[in-house]
Amino acid sequence: MNFGSINIKGAGGAGKAVEARRLISKYNLSFFAIQETQFRDLSLSKIRRFWDNTSFEFSKVDAEGRSGGLLSIWNATIFKKEQEVKNQNFILTKGKIVGENTDLVIVNIYGSTSKTSRRIMWEELLAVKNTITGLWLMLGDFNEVRFPEERFNSQFDAGGALCFNSFISRGGFHEYNMGGMKYTFLSGDGTNLSKLDRVLVCDNFMNKWPHASLLALGRNISDHSPLILTTTNNSFGPSPFRMFNSWFALEGFDETVRKGLDSICDSRFKDEVLATKFKAVKEELKKMAQK
């Protein structure tokens, strides 16, 4: 089961829904956590735009005015909800992965801009964790950093970080190494960077999926990076081509490979660029073999 998260900074734009669906399809997401919908009454028709034609369920928290708002949406054929807890800053959804007798607790989080409110939320989540058992996964915009190096060109709040790290330690949470972007938030003037978005998991979650991968993508539709947590292996199909040592001695081999690698790909995603170039190299090698 794969998970995604983004602080979308307003769920009204059609382009944002299109990008969400693209991420869901590309990364085979079964659960998508969205923060800052900025809607007081997010209608079913607007929610439906964020998913494809497959069966889905959702849970939401309305924004206060134009501030906040949460939406959790998931594949109803893969994850079955059994319990829900929510307030203005998080949606907790407990259920089971279809075919597995494992309780999974997924928490979609939007940390308040108020330091006091965030500290209250840490205590609320710890209290809930003591009463709801299962494999815990928390993802979203925590609005807090853990270490000075998680901020660039902005002030580090040592007191806030201390409380946040205490919450993580007391809750027994861990983080996967994050690939892609080092910082997940870019300020409007383009000068300040912070790692505000993250994924926290409990011991048992990490033990079940020790090789899961976490990726922070480029900020295309928001000033926050989408996060992708992949626990299942994605199949990228057969290898583009086989390589034999004898090919290196063929006349014109180097030029043929270089021609394929020089092919143009407009994608913003490095894996797609690499796959396109491999395909181009394969086609050029076929042409060389036919001469």
The ranges assigned to domains in the chain are 2-230, 245-290
Give percent of the chain above pLDDT 70. 92
Structure confidence at residue 253 (pLDDT): 83
pLDDT attached to residue 280: 83
pLDDT of residue 174: 96
Rounded Cα distance between 179 and 287, Å, is 37
Q: Mark out the alpha helices in the chain (DSSP H runs).
A: 14-26, 44-48, 115-129, 158-171, 203-208, 253-261, 270-290
Overall average pLDDT of the 231-255 stretch = 66
Q: What are phi and psi of 83, to 5 degrees?
A: -155, 155
Reported as a single tens digit per residue, the pLDDT across 262-283 is: 887 765 556 667 777 888 888 8
179-214 pLDDT tens trace: 999 999 998 888 899 999 999 999 999 999 999 999
> Which tops the pLDDT comparison, 26 or 288?
26
Q: pLDDT tens across 117-156, in order? A: 999 999 999 999 999 999 999 999 999 999 999 999 999 9
What integer is the mean pLDDT of 52-56? 87
Task: Write down the pTM of the prediction.
Answer: 0.79
| Mean pLDDT (whole number) for 212-227 | 93
Select the more confidently predicted residue: 41 or 242: 41
Q: What is the pLDDT of residue 89?
A: 96
CATH superfamily of 2-230: Endonuclease/exonuclease/phosphatase (3.60.10.10)
Q: Is 125 left (phi over 0), alpha (psi -120 to 50) or beta?
A: alpha
Is the model's pLDDT at 227 over the cut of 50?
yes
Contact residues for 278 (Cβ-Cβ < 8 A; gap 6+): 240, 241, 260
Average pLDDT over the chain reads 89
